[in-house]
Protein backbone atom coordinates (compact mmCIF):
# COMPACT_ATOMS: atom_id res chain seq x y z
CA UNK A 1 0.00 0.00 0.00
CA UNK A 2 2.73 2.47 0.94
CA UNK A 3 4.54 1.78 -2.32
CA UNK A 4 1.26 2.52 -4.09
CA UNK A 5 1.10 5.89 -2.36
CA UNK A 6 4.69 6.66 -3.31
CA UNK A 7 4.09 5.74 -6.95
CA UNK A 8 0.90 7.76 -7.00
CA UNK A 9 2.70 10.82 -5.64
CA UNK A 10 5.35 10.42 -8.35
CA UNK A 11 2.70 10.19 -11.05
CA UNK A 12 3.33 6.49 -11.73
CA UNK A 13 -0.38 5.76 -11.80
CA UNK A 14 -0.29 2.37 -13.54
CA UNK A 15 2.16 1.00 -10.99
CA UNK A 16 0.22 2.57 -8.13
CA UNK A 17 -3.00 0.95 -9.34
CA UNK A 18 -1.30 -2.46 -9.46
CA UNK A 19 -0.05 -2.02 -5.91
CA UNK A 20 -3.42 -0.85 -4.58
CA UNK A 21 -5.03 -3.81 -6.32
CA UNK A 22 -2.59 -6.11 -4.52
CA UNK A 23 -3.56 -4.47 -1.22
CA UNK A 24 -7.23 -5.05 -1.98
CA UNK A 25 -6.60 -8.71 -2.84
CA UNK A 26 -4.79 -9.17 0.47
CA UNK A 27 -7.47 -7.32 2.43
CA UNK A 28 -10.74 -6.71 0.54
CA UNK A 29 -11.98 -4.52 3.41
CA UNK A 30 -9.04 -2.08 3.23
CA UNK A 31 -11.02 1.08 2.56
CA UNK A 32 -8.07 3.39 1.91
CA UNK A 33 -6.88 1.24 -1.00
CA UNK A 34 -10.27 1.76 -2.68
CA UNK A 35 -10.13 5.50 -2.00
CA UNK A 36 -6.68 5.87 -3.51
CA UNK A 37 -7.68 3.77 -6.50
CA UNK A 38 -10.75 5.97 -6.99
CA UNK A 39 -8.64 9.13 -6.86
CA UNK A 40 -6.20 7.85 -9.48
CA UNK A 41 -9.02 6.85 -11.80
CA UNK A 42 -10.56 10.28 -11.30
CA UNK A 43 -7.27 12.03 -12.06
CA UNK A 44 -6.90 9.98 -15.24
CA UNK A 45 -10.52 10.72 -16.21
CA UNK A 46 -11.65 7.10 -15.92
CA UNK A 47 -14.81 8.22 -14.16
CA UNK A 48 -16.64 4.89 -14.35
CA UNK A 49 -13.90 3.06 -12.43
CA UNK A 50 -13.53 6.00 -10.08
CA UNK A 51 -17.23 5.77 -9.24
CA UNK A 52 -17.05 2.02 -8.64
CA UNK A 53 -14.16 2.45 -6.23
CA UNK A 54 -15.62 5.47 -4.43
CA UNK A 55 -18.85 3.51 -3.91
CA UNK A 56 -16.90 0.58 -2.46
CA UNK A 57 -14.92 2.96 -0.24
CA UNK A 58 -18.19 4.54 0.93
CA UNK A 59 -19.60 1.12 1.83
CA UNK A 60 -16.58 0.35 4.03
CA UNK A 61 -16.18 3.56 6.02
CA UNK A 62 -18.08 4.33 9.20
CA UNK A 63 -17.13 7.95 9.91
CA UNK A 64 -20.21 10.03 9.04
CA UNK A 65 -18.17 13.16 8.27
CA UNK A 66 -16.07 11.30 5.74
CA UNK A 67 -19.17 9.64 4.31
CA UNK A 68 -20.71 13.07 3.72
CA UNK A 69 -17.69 14.13 1.69
CA UNK A 70 -17.52 10.88 -0.25
CA UNK A 71 -21.20 11.03 -1.20
CA UNK A 72 -20.50 14.45 -2.73
CA UNK A 73 -17.71 12.88 -4.80
CA UNK A 74 -20.02 10.06 -5.86
CA UNK A 75 -22.75 12.50 -6.89
CA UNK A 76 -20.25 14.59 -8.88
CA UNK A 77 -19.11 11.47 -10.73
CA UNK A 78 -22.67 10.43 -11.45
CA UNK A 79 -23.28 13.87 -13.01
CA UNK A 80 -20.17 13.50 -15.17
CA UNK A 81 -21.44 10.08 -16.28
CA UNK A 82 -25.04 11.25 -16.68
CA UNK A 83 -26.28 8.68 -14.17
- For residue 50, pLDDT over 90 is answered with yes
Task: Tell me what pLDDT residue 83 has.
Answer: 82
pLDDT of residue 53: 98
> Please, which residues have CB within 8 angstroms of residue 67's CB and are 6 or more apart in sequence?
58, 61
User: Does residue 77 surpass a pLDDT of 90?
Assistant: yes
Mean pLDDT of 79-83: 91
pLDDT at 65: 96
pLDDT for residue 1 is more than 90 = no
CA distance 69 to 64: 9
| C-beta neighbour count of 12 within 10 angstroms | 15
- Residue 58 pLDDT more than 90? yes
Amino acid sequence: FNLGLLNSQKGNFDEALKLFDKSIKIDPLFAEAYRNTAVIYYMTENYEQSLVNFEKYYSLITDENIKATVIQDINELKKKLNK
